[in-house]
Amino acid sequence: MSTNHTSGAGSAVHAKKAEIFCKDEARVDWHSKALWMLREKRDRAASSIPEWEQLRELGSQLKLHTLTHLDQYLEEFEKNCLANGIQVHWAKDGIEHNQIVHKILADKQVKKLVKSKSMLTEECHLNPYLESHGIEVIDTDLGERIIQLAEQPPSHIVVPAIHMKKEEVGELFHDKLGTKAGAADPLYLTRAARAHLREKFLSADAAMTGVNMAIADKGTVVVCTNEGNADMGANLPKLQLHSMGIDKIVPDLDSAAVILRTLARNATGQPVTTYSSFYRGPQTDGEMHIIIVDNGRTDMLQDKILAESLKCIRCGGCLNTCPVYRRSGGYSYNYTIPGPIGIAVGAQNDDTNSIPWACTLCGSCSYVCPTKVPLDKIIHHHRRLKAKAGKLPYGKRSYMPLVGNFMASETMLNCSMSVARTALRILPGAMLKPFSGAWGKYRELPIAPKSSFETWFNKNRGQ
């Protein structure tokens, strides 16, 4: 997996980027509230199904089962796809994926490709690759189109333009699509985007979508959208392409049904996505291609704890509930996929070695997850892997061994804490603040007691 273009050498660590995001507190509040509303909708939708927790358990087990029999199901899937007249391609990484896509498009002299949201093509950096080969790529999901016009990466995996206010979208559309200056009415702007996209759909030579699920025993892919854009794309041009990670495979329709019941509910609180389309073969005289991508996934399967992150169905629920994501924004994570799942699947590619620490280990993500990905445990594990590899963030590298020795010595701990307590008690706060780092910058320092508990106990209970 390659890193996202917001990353790279010299990029700031998560805390630094988050601190910049936090400077505009009104925007942080707005961002946090918008995402929390999704969490609340999710809670209402989940509570409307008495068997919700059983569905989560089923989802977890069926994904684990498939992941542990991946070779068998992928082969079955390929066999059934071929029988359905679908052409199947295998890509070991993002580069190979992009080359395969380009070859298919070049063979048909495709000049214009309409694409429906796919985090995998983001992960592979497909758009810039195709554009460099003279192919125009139009993202057709409204949110994706907005950020494409703004030349930004997604900041959320389900609502990619969640960081932009409607006024900002109005300004962007005025610039790029010629809408009225100062217009911020969502209905007006959506209609403008719809007219603009309609023209693109009608003139496209090929369509490409991501894959929510690939059903092994049917040779079918499932694509879920709310805007019908994937269907509009796939049904107009004769050439359709679908990119999927190897982790998207499920055994059969029954297992797909389990995931369909939780996916939209956990993402946006809808009972199901407006369009949940099953593609099982090319149009008459058309071609259908499926590109199956590994891109580091089999490596993750080697580690029992990291492997569980491949159970993820990309609902975005963990982002919406994450108190850190909501207050630091998607771009602070230095990876295409932000939030808890972004840390889980992207930490090994994070050249700042900071994202596993962009988490309080509160565990809300693990409980919200519809397939029970143990996100907090995976994030904790990533920290250990980073430490083992000698890749602790700079600050920790310098102080953690000291803390280890310090805490193991009662004498050192007691003496220095006694000094600290005295200092906190007698020195004016203003003198201490510069020495107390982030704690004193944002909070009042603790009111220090005269002596330790142990001293009290020994004095009053006489041991």
Partner 1 sequence: MKIALFIPCLVNQMMPHVGIATVELLEKLGHQVILPKGQTCCGQPMTNSGCFDEAKKTTLKLLNAFKGVECDAIVCPAASCLVAAKENFHEFDTSPEAQAVIDKLYELTEFLHDVAPIKAFNKPFNHKISLQLSCHGIRMLDLATPSEQMGPRTNKVEAVLKAIPSIEIVYPGRYDECCGFGGTFAVDEGAVSAKMGKDKAQAHAETGAKYAVGFDPSCLLHLDGMMRRQKLPIETLHIAQVINAAL
Q: Residues 6 to 35: which contact partner 1 by CB under 8 A?
A: 14-15, 18-19, 22, 25, 28, 32
Restricted to residues 309-328, the positions that interact with partner 1 (CB under 8 A) are 321, 323-324, 327-328
Neighbours of 166 (CB within 10 A): 12
Q: Could you tell me if 372 and 312 are in contact, meaning their C-beta atoms sit under 8 angstroms apart?
A: no
Contacting residue, 80, 220, 336, 364, with partner 1 by CB under 8 A: 364
Cα distance between the two ends of the chain:
60
For partner 1 (CB under 8 A), the number of binding residues is 78
Which of 307, 358, 373, 378 binds partner 1 (CB under 8 A)? It is 358
Q: How far is the CB of 145 from partner 1 (least distance, A)?
A: 30
Give the 3-state secondary structure of residue 180.
coil
Q: Which of these, 229, 199, 235, 221, lies nearest to 139 by C-alpha position?
A: 229
CA distance 67 to 199: 41
Residue 151 CA to residue 117 CA, distance in Å, equals: 15
Q: Indicate whether 183 belongs to the interface with partner 1 (CB under 8 A).
A: no
Q: Shortest gap between Cβ of 13 and partner 1 (angstroms)?
A: 9
Member of 83, 413, 419, 427 binding partner 1 (CB under 8 A) = 413
Distances (CA, A) of 57 to 60, 61, 62, 135, 308: 5, 6, 9, 44, 13
Footprint of partner 1 on 231-250 (CB under 8 A):
none
Angle, helices 142-149/186-203, rounded to nearest 10 degrees: 90
Closer by beta carbon to partner 1, 18 or else 100:
18
Per CB under 8 A, contacts with partner 1 among 421-450 are: 421, 437-439, 441-449
Q: Can you read off the two tokens belonging to residue 149?
A: 């016009």
Interacting residues with partner 1 between 366 and 385 (CB under 8 A): 366-368, 380, 382-385
**Considering only residues 62-121, where is the footprint of partner 1 by CB under 8 A?**
none
- Is residue 359 at the binding interface for partner 1, with CB under 8 A as the rule? yes
C-alpha torsion sign, points 453, 458, 460, 463: positive
Tell me if 181 contacts partner 1 by CB under 8 A: no
> Pick from 253, 305, 362, 432: which binds partner 1 (CB under 8 A)?
362
| Nearest residue (CB) to partner 1, 17 versus 242 | 17
In the complex, minimum distance from the CB of residue 373 to partner 1, in angstroms, rounded to a whole number: 13
The structure tokens listed for 317 are 């629920």
